Amino acid sequence: MQISSAGSAIAVDRVTKRFGATVALDGASFEAAPGEVHALLGENGAGKSTLVKILSGLTQPDSGAISIHGQSVTISTPARAHALGFRTAFQEISLIPDLTVARNLLLPVEPTWLGFLVDGRTSATRVETLLAELELEDIDPRAEVRDLDLPVRQKIEIARAISRKPKVLLLDEPTSALSGHDVEWLGRRIENIRQNGTTVILITHRMPEVRMFCDRLSILRNGKQVGTFAIDAVSDEEVFRLVVGRSVSAAYPPREEVACPRGPAPVLAAKEISVQPRLHDASFELWPGEILGIAALQGMGQLDLFLALFGMAPLDAGHIEIDGKPRILASPRDAVAAHIGISLVPEERKTEALALNLSGLENVSLPVIDRYARFGWIDVNSEWHAVDRVLARVNVHPRALYRTCATFSGGNQQKIALAKWLLAESRVLLLFDPTRGVDIGTKQEIYNLMREFTRAGGSIMFYSTDATEIADLSDRVIVMYRGRAAAEFRGSQITEEAIMQVALGNDILPKAKAIGGAA
């Protein structure tokens, strides 16, 4: 397909990019008009991130052309991209964690005295004005970025890109860590800048947001463009078929119809546990063979809960029970121990779940490497075959046995993170936003893996920023509000509307006792 760039704010024409034997982009093309919000869709590994890196000046195409308002351009460096009016908010956040919010927002253009002394007063005024304009007054500009929750960091990443007044704004999975209110915030930001003529390129896997924000969408598959459509000219089912190259059946596996409780005692229970300053007197029970969904808006204590259950956050009050007996989990080593069997897939796979410079083999076997040790030596053959089997179970190519995790797409990285705990034969999976930033095909694989795990007697507690995902996957749902378990829903009670009503604090049930107890 040849793109005509006349009247386009940006036109990408037959761009190709190879990394060794891997063809990341294979003649990809699309165009967007001034003020248009244009979605780029595709599976992980379809070429979307490579295209973002090319437009951001982080890598250069092997062939093809890029035009801005009809003029052919070469984007050789990030500085050149900025000069042309491109700004990017990355999914893998590019903020400097040891600097404050204010300094991250202003770099590299902080106001100075005499050319080298930072003008603190002017900086503070400028940042306060910016945060107010972007409806982020609740963020402390003096806070260090490393101390902020992921959704807050994501909003700062977006705010920094918007603050540069771009001609073309690239948003790479901007809502992957955002809850409903934050998505609405992003919608207001997009509408505001498009009114000023900015073109927005939105890379996402979430169709509701595509329909909410976008004018048109383009689909990439295996590095090629397979179609561009007006939003109202194509159904979700057709989009999914074009994205994955096949028909997509029901998005969620059926909820298991089994009695509750399922066993003599819950496999995991929390008894009025507190982790200051966010988690307060939280109680729940998790039974064998069930998926327990945890629903909450940002900062309601859900992260502290998951970290406490994995031995990463010391309790200030209450206790944890395993199989009905009190246990102290002082570290992840305690949680992973065979007689406990608790594992965690955290929210940031690249920095918390995987060692990207190690192979998939090394990542998967690491928690149980002692299992393959013989007199101080690793039985490589046994390790290799065991990891090979579990990689096949999560549908990751055997090349992961020898290639580093950094070379795989986000979806495959997430499946490798899951494979690690399947090899460890965990009894309880703690999944914190497990489908963040992965495509519809990989999501379905993860959903099916979750059901397969509980069907075999395992237990899952998972949190998601997507309330629909919580509602459609969970056997039970606990909604957290201000650090407490505010309500519980089962079976037909589980609806997105009911969950959000409590999550917003509009229908708190102060007398709701026996959270997670017997039916």
412 found inside a domain: no
- Kindly state whether residues 190 and 272 are assigned to the same domain: no
Residues 6+ away with beta carbon under 8 Å from 337: none
Residues 6+ away with beta carbon under 8 Å from 183: 175, 209, 212
385 found inside a domain: no
Residue 386 DSSP SS3: helix
Among the candidates 244, 272, 291, a domain finishes at 244
Burial class (CB in 10 A: 0-12, 13-18, 19+), 32: buried
Give the structural domain span for 328: 261-341+429-519
249 found inside a domain: no
Helices then strands, counting H and E runs in the chain, come out as: 16, 24
422 found inside a domain: no
The CATH number covering residue 296 comes to 3.40.50.300
Average pLDDT, integer, range 481-490: 91
- Kindly state whether residues 125 and 190 are assigned to the same domain: yes
Q: Could you tell me the strand order of the sheet in which 199-203 lies?
A: 86-89, 168-172, 199-203, 37-41, 216-221, 224-230
Cβ distance 37 to 29 under 8 Å?
no
pLDDT for the residue 514: 34
95 found inside a domain: yes
- Kindly state whether residues 161 and 292 are assigned to the same domain: no
- Kindly state whether residues 330 and 197 are assigned to the same domain: no
Query: Which position has the token pair 């689909």?
Result: 219
pLDDT class for 398, splitting at 50, 70, 90?
A: very high
What is the pTM assigned to this prediction? 0.79
pLDDT surpasses 90 at 358: yes
- Kindly state whether residues 84 and 208 are assigned to the same domain: yes
pLDDT for the residue 181: 83
pLDDT class for 359, splitting at 50, 70, 90?
A: very high
Cβ distance 282 to 485 under 8 Å?
yes
- Kindly state whether residues 216 and 291 are assigned to the same domain: no
Over residues 464-477, the pLDDT tens digits come to: 988 889 999 999 99
pLDDT for the residue 10: 95
Residues 6+ away with beta carbon under 8 Å from 488: 476, 477, 478, 479, 512, 515, 516
Pick the closest to residue 44 from 340, 280, 396, 430 (CA basis): 396
Cα 186 from Cα 175, distance rounded (Å): 8
DSSP labels, 425-471: T-SEEEEESTTTT--HHHHHHHHHHHHHHHHTT-EEEEE-S-HHHHH
pLDDT for the residue 343: 96
- Kindly state whether residues 41 and 78 are assigned to the same domain: yes
pLDDT surpasses 60 at 419: yes
Provide the number of structural domains found in the chain: 2
Among the candidates 216, 244, 272, a domain finishes at 244
Cβ distance 332 to 311 under 8 Å?
yes
- Kindly state whether residues 469 and 321 are assigned to the same domain: yes
Average pLDDT, integer, range 91-116: 79
406 found inside a domain: no
pLDDT for the residue 519: 36
Among the candidates 244, 276, 297, a domain finishes at 244
pLDDT for the residue 14: 94
Q: For 463, phi and psi rounded to 5 degrees?
A: -115, 145
Query: Which position has the token pair 């995991």?
Result: 268
pLDDT class for 4, splitting at 50, 70, 90?
A: very low
- Kindly state whether residues 319 and 446 are assigned to the same domain: yes
- Kindly state whether residues 182 and 265 are assigned to the same domain: no
Over residues 212-256, the pLDDT tens digits come to: 999 999 999 989 999 999 999 999 889 888 887 765 555 677 776
Residue 145 DSSP SS3: helix
509 found inside a domain: yes
- Kindly state whether residues 215 and 331 are assigned to the same domain: no
pLDDT for the residue 256: 67
List, in sequence order, every beta strand (DSSP E) within 33-89: 37-41, 63-68, 71-73, 86-89
- Kindly state whether residues 44 and 122 are assigned to the same domain: yes
How many C-beta neighbours within 10 Å does residue 191 have?
Answer: 12
